[in-house]
Chains A and B, each alone.
Chain A
Amino acid sequence: MTAVESEPRRAVATAARPRRRVRRQHGDNLAGYLFLIPWLIGVVVFVAGPTLASLYLSFTNFNLLSAPRWVGLQNYIQLFTVDPRYLHSIVVTVIYVVFSVPLSLIAALVLALLLNAKIKGVGIYRSIYYVPSLLGGSVAIAILWRQIFDSNGIFSKLLQLFGLPATSWISSPGLAIWTLIFLHIWQFGSPMVIFLAGLKQIPAELYEAASTEGASKWRQLRSITLPLLTPIVFFNLILTLINSFQAFTPAYVVSSGTGGPLDSTLFYTLYLYINGFTNFRMGYASAQGWVLLIVVGVFTAIAFITSRYWVYYEDSEKR
């Protein structure tokens, strides 16, 4: 143990030496797999079984209490032919994703930049801005959100100050989805923290050098911060995208599991859950799950392809 005690310092001392890069395609087979062993075991033992089981179930009629019965593609066909609620749940989810993903990411990034400043009480501010995310999808949120967005709620009162009519946002079929989008934005804490952590990864000497050269704050943001932050932006984008497509808790909690009013908050995963556990149609629900997996997979793949053009990796071998 003690033999390697001073490794990092020596590593630093030698950082300037010329690189000696081994460039073989599979040069790290042994080491790579050694590090991956725990993860591989996890995949095989804990993930593969349930996942494959759910794939199998998607081709069956399975009511959870009797043996599954093979029905081939029937579930998949039904989804797209005779189930208007399913198609509706797709529309609701797409609206949610389209608005909540960019808005919450922008909010998180802006706040992370502001709260990265060296000002007094920044720790308190961060904690306060993170508080909504601490609540997660707890029971309390269900009640709080109703209070805020009903016709006598604080939100409606605020709008009235600006001369808008008092409406109950939570209970109007056209507006209810917005209360959930707001909820998502309000809980931007997680991406914000990841951005903050990412900002800390950017070497301070880059900023010092830039200040010395007289670069403005704005200029520093554009040429240092944002480019170096792109891997983290990319991470947040991918994860927020995946999570929003699967959003369940907010709608479940706020609508008491119904997706109401008039199915206006019937998220994809909520409808899937209702089918599986309320309607006892787990085979059908599994088919829904696998359709979602494919759709989200395609979107993620697209994001990865475009990332080549805008994500900057410090370790990029192209340099």
Chain B
Amino acid sequence: MTASALTVARTRRRRGRQDRASHAVLHIVLIAGSIVMIYPLIWMIGASFKPENEIFSGAILNPFPAHFSWSNYVSGWAGSGEITFGQFFLNSLLVCVGAIVGNLISCSLAAYSFARMRFKLRGLWFAVMLGMLMLPFPVTIVPQYIMFHALGWTNSILPLIIPKFFGVESFFVFLMIQFIRTIPRELEQAAQVDGANRFQIFVRVVLPLLTPALVTTTIFTFIWTWNDFFSQLIYLGKPERYTVAVGLQSFLDATGQSQWGAMFAMTTLSLIPVFLLFLFFQRRLVEGIATTGLK
């Protein structure tokens, strides 16, 4: 034990200097990459502070406004009609939270079943699960609408949330299956030997080990729901229920007045919650609860 610890310590010291040099190189590469990645965003933030007649003519490429103005934020926040953007934010948040809870519960249950159990027709159901990803969305919009209308759910957020509680997001089911399959079975078998039932094993053993996938699901569900436009547009008939994605589209009109500045301003604002969420949750990916704590 002590011998190997010593070796490790010595190797680490030797590597320390190399690491510092290679880290410097890494930083340079990453910063250069960051600029490419983030330039369009900087441009957009800049545009959100420009008066409208400066955004698309003149020095277009320069992200910094010649005349700095907050007015886009004021007019953008006023929203559309009598509903402010604040309301859109709250609505989006509500839909997102519902979708996240639904996806976490339903997808992990289904994934555990698919990944760890052998049952009749498993192959068929698995194919169905993947097949659900393969039909392009426009062909089911209308039948789906008719179905939700028959249920009396149109003009409400129910069609956006309830299905998530029944695992319709195959992406996450499949994601969790793949992650569960990277977990050695021994831990579950040990729990089984100790008399835990399947559900206990799932909750006490599998879910904690699945944290990275659950975090990923949370992040993606939030962002994708936040950005999802079509289904929100179709099902949220009343302006007081509109979400951010729907609200953003209402700034532009090909047959009348448009508000580009306000659109950029609100797009910028709408990125803040998703960015913060990502910044917060990506830590969970760094720490990685996984098997490291189980040595």
Contact = CB atoms under 8 A, between A and B. Distances in A.
B134 A300 contact: yes
A41 to B, nearest CB: 5
B200 A4 contact: yes
Interface stretch (A97-105, A115-123, A159-167, A173-181): A115-123
A208 B109 CA distance: 34
Main secondary structure of the interface of A (DSSP, over half): helix
Given A12-B190, A49-B147, A54 B140 contact: yes
Interface in A202-261: 202-205, 208, 211-212, 214, 228, 231-232, 234-235, 238-239, 242, 246, 248
Interface string A249-279: 0000000000000000000110011001100
B27 A53 contact: no
The winner among A19, A20, A138, A212 for most chain B CB atoms within 10 A is: A138
A46 B140 contact: no
A302 B279 CA distance: 37
Contacts of B285: 126, 193, 196-197, 200
A65 B278 CA distance: 43
Interface in B139-174: 139-140, 142-144, 146-147, 163, 165-168, 171, 173-174
B212 A25 contact: no
A164 to B, nearest CB: 18
B256 interface: no
A87 interface: no
Nearest to B212: A197
The winner among B138, B168, B274, B291 for most chain A CB atoms within 10 A is: B138
Interface in B172-203: 173-175, 178-191, 193-194, 196, 198, 200, 202
Nearest to B40: A144
The winner among B115, B186, B205, B294 for most chain A CB atoms within 10 A is: B186
Size class of the B contact interface (CB-based, 8 Å): 35 or more
B113 A231 contact: no
B163 A204 contact: no
A39 B187 contact: no
A242 B133 contact: yes
B282 A126 contact: yes
A193 B260 contact: no
A259 to B, nearest CB: 14
Nearest to A37: B109
A138 B120 CA distance: 43
A203 B181 CA distance: 14
A31 interface: yes
B216 interface: yes
Contact of A129 (B37, B110, B188, B190): B37
A273 B282 contact: no
B283 interface: yes
Nearest to A246: B136
Main secondary structure of the interface of B (DSSP, over half): helix
B74 interface: no
Given A38-B106, A197-B212, A47 B132 contact: yes
A50 B112 contact: no
A115 B198 CA distance: 36
B271 A314 contact: no
B21 interface: no
Contacts of A120: 23, 27
A234 B131 contact: no
Nearest to A313: B181
Interface stretch (B78-86, B88-96, B122-130): B122-130
B194 A139 contact: no
B118 A139 contact: no
A234 B178 contact: yes
A293 B190 CA distance: 42
Given A54-B143, A140-B44, A315-B185, A33 B282 contact: no
Contact of A293 (B131, B144, B147, B186): B131
Contacts of A27: 118
Contacts of B27: 119-120
A128 B174 contact: no
Contact of A42 (B106, B115, B174): B106
Given A147-B43, A197-B215, A35 B112 contact: yes
Given A39-B106, A290-B135, 15 more contacts: A4-B204, A28-B116, A31-B117, A32-B122, A38-B109, A53-B140, A53-B143, A58-B139, A114-B30, A139-B248, A194-B216, A196-B212, A228-B182, A235-B178, A273-B138
28 contacts: A11-B190, A13-B190, A20-B189, A28-B116, A32-B117, A36-B119, A39-B167, A39-B173, A46-B144, A54-B143, A114-B29, A127-B275, A127-B279, A129-B34, A130-B278, A132-B37, A134-B271, A134-B274, A140-B264, A144-B44, A211-B8, A231-B182, A232-B179, A239-B175, A289-B139, A293-B135, A296-B134, A297-B131
Interface of A: 4, 7-8, 10-17, 19-21, 24-29, 31-36, 38-43, 45-47, 49-51, 53-54, 57-58, 64, 111, 114-115, 117, 119-120, 122-123, 125-140, 143-145, 147-148, 152-154, 157, 186, 190, 193-194, 196-198, 200-205, 208, 211-212, 214, 228, 231-232, 234-235, 238-239, 242, 246, 248, 268-269, 272-273, 276-277, 282, 285-286, 288-290, 292-293, 296-297, 300, 313-315
